[in-house]
Every structure is written in C-alpha cells, then in structure tokens.
Structure 1
Amino acid sequence: MLEVDGVTKRFGDVLACDRVTFDVAAGELFGFVGGNGAGKTTTMRIVLGVLAQDAGSVRFAGAPVEHAARRRFGYLPEERGLYPRMRVLEQLVYLAELHGAGINAAHRAAEHWISRLGLREHRDTELQRLSLGNQQRVQLAAALVHDPLLLVLDEPFSGLDPLAVDVLVEVLREQARAGVPVVFSSHQLDLVERLCDRVGIVAAGRIVACGTVEQLRAGTGSTLVVEAPDAPPDWASGLPGVTVLGVHSGQTRLRVAPGVDDQPILAAALATGRVRGFTHHHPSLAELYRDVVGVGSR
C-alpha cells in the first residue's frame, strides 16, 4: 500500500536520502533500521509530508499521497511532540478531532487507548507530570486514536519498560492483522527481528539491504563453528568459498559463502583428526546489520 520510490533529499552538502526505495504491503510490519544520521527520520518525515523530497515519489494505495490521505496516517516522532500542559484525555480527544473524528467518537477512541496502553490512572494528569515512559505511551495513543490507515513510528519503544514493550508489540500486531501497514524504526534490533515481516537497512541515506531476516541471512552466507581439537590453525585456509573468522582452543569459526556445500569442509576437518562439533550458526539481525553496514559506520 505504501510505496517510496527513489526519494532523494539534500540539506546543503548533506545527502540525507539517496534514492530511497521500498514498499510496505497492507498488514505488513516493516522495520526501518540504521545508525544515527542514516536517513530514517528524514524518510519518515517525507512520507508524512513534514518535509518535501527533492526527487522521487511517495504513493499510498496506488495514488500520490495528498493532504487528505495524510490526515489518516498515524505518526509518532522520535522527539516529544505533544502539549505538556494539556491533560491526557483532553489531549487525545483534541487530536482525534483534528483528524476528523466527531466529539463522541473522539472520546470513545481516547478512552479505549488510555485503557489499552495502561494510562487509566493518568487520564486527567498533565502530560508534563508523567514519567518519560508514560509520556511515550501517550504519544503512542496519539498516533492510534484516529484509527489510522498507515502507522509510521520513529523509535516507538524508546523509554518503555518491558511490560509496556509487550503491550506495544501486541498492539502493532493487532494493527497489522487489521490490514494497517506499519513502518517503524528502532535501535532495538532484537525487537525488530521478532516483530517485523521485513527489514530495510539504511546507511548514508541509501537502502543497503531489504527483505526478510531469512533473506538477509541467505545473502550474507552462514557461520560454521567447527570443533576440531587436533587440527592446525590454518586447516581451513584455502577452502573455496570459506573465510576463517577466528580460531580459539580448537574451535574454528568460518564464514561460508551462499551456495557453498559444507561437506568438503567437514571432510577437510576430518582429515586432520577428531571432529567434536560441526554447527551452523544463524546470525541475528544485529550481526547481519554489522555485516551489511560495517562496524563503526554511521
């Protein structure tokens, strides 16, 4: 439903978005990950119309995104963006009305999300008197209170305790089951890995990898851990499609290129003597991210 096609944005000499292209289907949870300054927030602001792109296009349901469609989008910015002296209930009602809800529907929606996100005891409290975690819950409620057609969430888990994270995870899954496309960024890659259908990795304003975690794993090859206590340290050097990552106490870690058969590797290990272990390690999203972007990249 959401299509970001060749979006480019420059701030002076800084190329913040470099032909960013991805799509998010109805009911899909799409994780948008990258380092600070990679271009995630700029891309999200362009989708929401907060910024205008220099080139490229954004479409929703096959049509260019106009103001009427954007009124039905839900957005959670990384920075606090609500009114600090407004009480929680009146703030959510006001925001729902701004998005076009009638007064009764706005009250019902506000009360629903106050309850759903564990804010009932704070419904009549000024936002500025809440903890940072509860302020984040209110911002989440503000993104959801008008029954959005699309959710764009910038670091939604920031400041949330583990129980609140579990609630938000279930809320996002509920939205996806209802057919809402969900785009969110997070530095908590373990959450992205368990929650998202697909992941886009962005670096220096460009999408450098995109797909399911399994597809990303297939693209980088696998890690093989071989426990061969009698083998010399260089026993795997020169094997086709194999890179030695490290050797320690008779255990050798190998990077095996995609499509390489592991049986010749096993045979080479057996030729040195005993083999006590021969295990494929499936890298986490954090490990994949390091491989794709590079340690220390920004």
Structure 2
Amino acid sequence: MLMVHDLVKKFGTMTAVDHVDFTLNPGEILGLIGQNGAGKTTTFRMILNFIEPDQGQIRWQGQPFTQAQYNQLGYLPEERGLFPKMTVMDQISYFAELRGMKRATIRAEVPRWLDRFAVKAKPTDKIRDLSKGNAQKIQLIATLIHHPKLIILDEPFSGLDPVNVSLLREGMLDMKREGAAIIYSDHNMTNVEQVSDQLVMLRQGEMVLNGTVDQVRQQFGRIKVYVETTLPQEQLAAIPGVVRITPRRHDLELTLADEAVGREVFKLVTAQGYLPEFSQQPPTLEEIFKLKAGADHE
C-alpha cells in the first residue's frame, strides 16, 4: 500500500504541493489529474525521492522506501529518455538490469512484451529508427518488464493514437490484475473514467477532488438530462431550473440548476406518450474538471 500524508513542497515563495493526502492499495489504479502546473509531477518526484518534501510522509507497505523497495517500482517519466543508438533489446535490458533482472530472463521475455504492445520493431532495431509511438512503447515495456509492485506513469497516453491508447489501457489493467498499485496522470478524462478506481485532482497544488470516479461525479448531482423529444426547445427552456440546452446529433442535453428539476422535465416530455430516450446523469468527469480547474484553464 502507498500512503501519502500531508505532503507539502515549496519552491521559494511558490507552494507546488499543498497538504496532499491519498492512499493507494495493491490492485488499484489512481488517476492524478489537474491542469499543467497543478503539482502532479512534483508529487511523483517526491514519491520517487527525486526531491524531498518540506512536510509530510510517504510510506510504502507502512515503511519509508528503502533502496531494495525502489526496485519494486516502475516509473515512466513525462520526459521520455531513451538512447537512440541502442538496439531495442539493449535499451530494455539496460533498464531491466538496473531493477535486478537477469539478462537471460530479459532476453526471453522481450519478444513477448513487444508482441503484447504490438511494437513494430525487432529486438535488433535501433531506437533512433522507431516511430515516436513505438519508441514510447519501448519505454513503457522498460517500465513494466520487471513486474513492479508500484507503477508511476506520468502522461503515459501523450502522443498515442487511439489503437495504442487502447493497448496501453489493457496493459495497465493487466498489471492491476497482477496486483500492482498504479498511479498515473492524464489530461484525457475519458481515459481516467475508464481505468481509474479512484482519482485525485490538484489545483495549484491543493486537492480539490478525491474519491472514486462515481463518488466524485455524484457529488455534483444528476444535473444532466439527455432526452430525445419532438417538443420545441422553447418549452423545455421555460421550465424553471433548466439552465442550458445543447442540441446534439440525435437528442438534447439539458443542464439543470438542481437534479430535482429533472422530474419536471420528465413530466413534460412524457405527456405525449412514448419517449425514445430519457437519461438523467451527473456531469462527466471532463465537465467537472473544467468546473474545478476554473474558467482560466478550460
């Protein structure tokens, strides 16, 4: 279990991380979200002991990290760092040996990992000859090949096409099923909703959201209604508490001042009988992100 308690980090007069708390259990994925400069990477670097916190505690399995425990950790930095003149095999071996793996074991496992992430490269290919996406997958393999117990991924989906995003998501879920605790940052809220067991949102270093995705969404109430109706928008807009109506391809999206307004909307649209669609939901994680980040960061 990873425990981060009351973490504070200042750089001069700027507070980069301000009293951050969360716990991550084995077999869980935590999405760390926030606008650029919110404190995500600084939090990662403190967990990794690259920089020391000014206040707070970081515990792994109830104890401070030891050097041996750091070998149980896999880290994918935001700034990718591969050696272009190395071959794929030598590059992965270099990082894996630093984590204590034997060269014979690495060489036996590399082909399976290349296939697992659909890397379009041979073990003998040079890193410099790979596409950006394939190079990124090589670094991910180097992060995961030693089967770490704690995995930290800083913007792992950045620059990947939808097919490779899906491969990476499945890789994360595979490691979760193996019992790894995974913490990662992302700006794509769809990814966060699909893979995260819990999330933490930082704004200017402070925690503004913490909980499971469902818990976070439910905090804001079921203020979104999606309805397919032939009623004029003017009639719907006249209902007190309907804040905004947004036409979509096949239906309308209504934003409500309060979820109780949904009852009045339902009464009106069902008065004509059959209704193809009516769904009342909390706002999406992306909408919540924009709300909590503030208009300046949309």
Aligned to 2:256: 255
Give distance in 1, aligned partners of 2:25 and 2:53: 22
Question: What is the alpha-carbon distance in structure 2 between the residues aligned to residue 230 and residue 202 of structure 1?
Answer: 37
Q: Which residue in the other structure is 2:206 paired with?
A: 206
Determine the structure 2 residue equivalent to 1:215.
215
3-state SS of 2:84 partner: coil
Distance in 1 between residues matched to 2:278 and 2:131, nearest whole Å:
50
AA matched with 1:192: V
The amino acid that maps onto 1:41 is T
Aligned to 1:194: 194
Other-structure match for 2:156: 156
State the Cα deviation string for residues 118-172 of structure 1 (Å, max 9, x = none): 2363321221221111110011011012121111001111222222222211111
- Asked whether the equivalents of residues 236 and 265 of structure 2 are also in contact (C-alpha less than 8 Å), the reply is no
Deviation, 1:204, is 0.7
The structural deviation recorded for 1:109 is 3.3
Contact 1:7 1:19 (C-alpha < 8 Å) held by counterparts:
yes
Superposition RMSD in Å: 2.7
Q: Which whole-Å CA distance do the structure 1 matches of 2:242 and 2:48 have between them?
A: 44
TM-score (norm: length of structure 2): 0.85
Q: Please give the secondary structure, in 2, of the residue aligned with 1:111.
A: helix
Matched, 1:2 2:2: yes
What do residues 30-54 of structure 1 show as CA deviations (whole Å, max 9, x unaligned)? 1111111111111111111112111
Query: What displacement does 1:256 show?
Result: 4.4
% same residue: 34
SS of aligned partner of 2:9 = strand
Give the secondary structure class of the aligned counterpart of 1:286: helix
> Deviation digits for residues 73-93 of structure 1, max 9, x if unmatched?
000001111222211101111
1:287 aligned to 2:287?
A: yes
Partner in structure 2 of residue 244 of structure 1: 243
Match of 1:29 in 2: 29
Deviations 1:179-236 (A, max 9, x none): 1011111112111111211221111111211222221121111223677649678744
Q: CA deviation at 1:101?
A: 1.4
Query: Does the 8 Å contact 2:35/2:293 carry over to 1?
Result: no
User: Which residue is equivalent to 1:92?
Assistant: 92
Equivalent residue, structure 1, for 2:47:
47
1:38 maps to: 38
Distance 2:130 2:255 in 1: 50
In the alignment, which residue of structure 2 is the partner of 1:224?
A: 225
Alignment of 1:66-145 (within 5 A): 66-119=66-119, 121-145=121-145
Range with greater deviation from structure 2 (165-174 or 218-227):
218-227
- Distance in 1 of aligned mates of 2:105 and 2:226: 58
More deviation in 147-156 or 122-131?
122-131
Q: TM-score, normalised by structure 1?
A: 0.85
Per-residue deviation, 1:264:
5.7
Q: Is the 8 A contact 1:230 1:274 kept in 2?
A: no
Which consecutive unaligned segments of at least 5 residues does structure 2 have? none
Amino acid of the structure 1 residue aligned with 2:192: V
Shift of 1:177: 0.7
Runs of 5+ consecutive residues of structure 1 not aligned to the other structure:
none
1:86 aligned counterpart, secondary structure: coil
Q: How many residues align?
A: 288
Deviation for aligned residue 1:281: 4.1
Q: How far 1:274 sits from its partner (Å)? A: 7.4
User: Which AA in structure 1 matches 2:162?
Assistant: P
Deviation at 1:291, TM superposition (A): 2.2
Aligned to 2:63: 63
Q: 1:238-286: CA deviations, max 9, x gaps? A: xxxx4623588xx78342446x47436656x69xx97988642442211
